[in-house]
Amino acid sequence: MSKLGNLGARLHRGEVGYDFVGNRKLWYGISILITITAILGLTVRGLNMGIEFQGGAVFTTPKTSVSVAQTQTYAEEAAGHDAIVQELGTGGMRIQISGVDTGKSDAVKEQLAKDLKVDSEKINADLVGPSWGDQIANKAWQGLAIFMVLVVIYLAIAFEWRMAIAAFVALIHDITITVGIYALVGFEVTPGTVIGLLTILGYSLYDTVVVFDSLKEQTKDITKQTRWTYGEVANRSINSTLVRSINTTVVALLPVAGLLFIGGGVLGAGMLNDISLSLFVGLAAGAYSSIFIATPLVADLKEREPQMKALKKRVLAKRAQAAQGEPAQEQGDDEEYGDEPEDAAPAVVGPRHQPASRNRGRGRPSGKRR
């Protein structure tokens, strides 16, 4: 852990770093490939929408000795539709069947009672109409759209419109990947999925805003110096917050991984899968986009400005002069920007030892100066 702490300190001071912005075309290509895969999965397989969105019935049975697979067979034969069966901790079954209306639910309930050999009065049936499911789906899309609009407005006011656009692109990137993974895996989409999706967007914005805040601070009066281009300062901002972003993401992923792999996989609590998968995939995608997508995109947009183009020319010209051995210009501007001059002597670290005077204390009994 001490090595990681030292690495974080060196990254923050700019002593070491990785050129994220310089290799942005590589990251853009990787993101485009992942996004295309997610879109293809969504197009080919589609989403497994829960009954909250398409209507249906949910039957909860008391404890039974029938297996989950056999219960699924009984439910599909009784309803004539595909069924999703989950075993509850009490030993009962949760049977979810889409496309079942009120008139047919009673007949399905009676048939399930006979097949599972339980009392029909003890089987609880909850019905969701298709119109109510459409309302839930519309509300979910409306909530997502309002969230995105408010985020763009806030970032445009707090930072600038280029950062707002970059954050918006990163959020679309995260949403597309998460939804595509849902389509490929085949997990059911429920209101819990929507809640998880909105939650991970908040986490993604947190990492992005941390980098943007550092970038805004470091690029203040950037045109008054000639040591760094905007892209290089953006890269330093990513490196200075890199360890913080990794630590935050890992700490958030650990409990979510417990829900997904232990709760849903080992313990069989399938109802945890809908929210835990969206959280797990979204957190990982959000951390990736804040480092590899959002800030490099801001650097791309900013370096198209005339001021930043002129700054880049001055920086490159000064470096060319230094490479040819010519005296560097505008040294004072670099010092105002907070960086040491390139030819500055290294600072002295540690206690300073003064040479002892040969005649100190000579001729005085006490050895002290008067």
Q: How far apart are CA 179 and CA 157, in angstroms?
A: 30
Residues 45 and 175 in one domain: yes
The four Cα atoms 105, 108, 109, 115 give a dihedral, to 10 degrees, of: -170
Q: 81-129: per-residue pLDDT in tens? A: 778 887 776 778 888 887 777 678 888 888 888 888 888 888 888 877 7
In the chain, the amino acid numbered 238 is I
Q: Which of 279, 307, 335 is the last residue of a domain?
A: 307
Residue 76 within a domain: yes
Which tokens go with 279? 């959280």
Residues 90 and 202 in one domain: no
Q: How far apart are CA 144 and CA 156, in angstroms?
A: 18
The neighbouring-strand residues paired with 189 are 49
Can you give the residue range of the structural domain that contains 231?
A: 2-49+132-307
Residue 361 within a domain: no
Residues 269 and 244 in one domain: yes
Residues 286 and 184 in one domain: yes
Residue 300 within a domain: yes
The dihedral sign for the CA sequence 349, 351, 354, 356 = negative
Q: Which of 307, 331, 360 is the last residue of a domain?
A: 307
Check: CB of residue 263 under 8 Å from CB of residue 269: yes
Q: How far apart are CA 85 and CA 116, in angstroms?
A: 13
Residues 199 and 300 in one domain: yes
Residues 121 and 143 in one domain: no
Residue 29 within a domain: yes
Residues 100 and 153 in one domain: no
> How is the beta sheet containing 83-87 ordered, strand by strand?
83-87, 93-98, 56-60, 124-128
Count of the separate structural domains present in the chain: 2
Q: Which of 291, 307, 323 is the last residue of a domain?
A: 307
**What are the backbone angles phi and psi of residue 84, rounded to the nearest 5°?**
-115, 125
Residues 163 and 87 in one domain: no
Q: What is the CATH number of the domain that holds 203?
A: 1.20.1640.10
Q: Which of 220, 236, 250 is nearest to 336 (CA)?
A: 220
Residues 6 and 112 in one domain: no
Residues 68 and 18 in one domain: no
Which tokens go with 31? 């993101």
Query: How far is the first Cα of the chain from the last one, in angstroms, to the nearest whole number?
Result: 54
Residue 344 within a domain: no
pLDDT of residue 3: 59
Instruction: Write out the chain's pLDDT in tens, 370 residues.
Output: 555 556 656 665 656 667 888 888 999 999 999 999 999 988 888 888 777 777 788 888 888 888 888 888 888 888 887 788 877 767 788 888 877 776 788 888 888 888 888 888 888 888 777 676 677 778 878 888 888 888 889 889 988 899 999 999 999 999 899 888 888 888 778 777 888 888 888 877 888 888 898 888 888 888 888 888 999 899 888 888 888 888 888 888 888 888 777 765 555 555 567 788 888 888 888 889 988 999 999 999 999 999 999 998 999 898 888 888 765 554 444 544 444 444 433 333 334 444 444 444 454 454 444 4
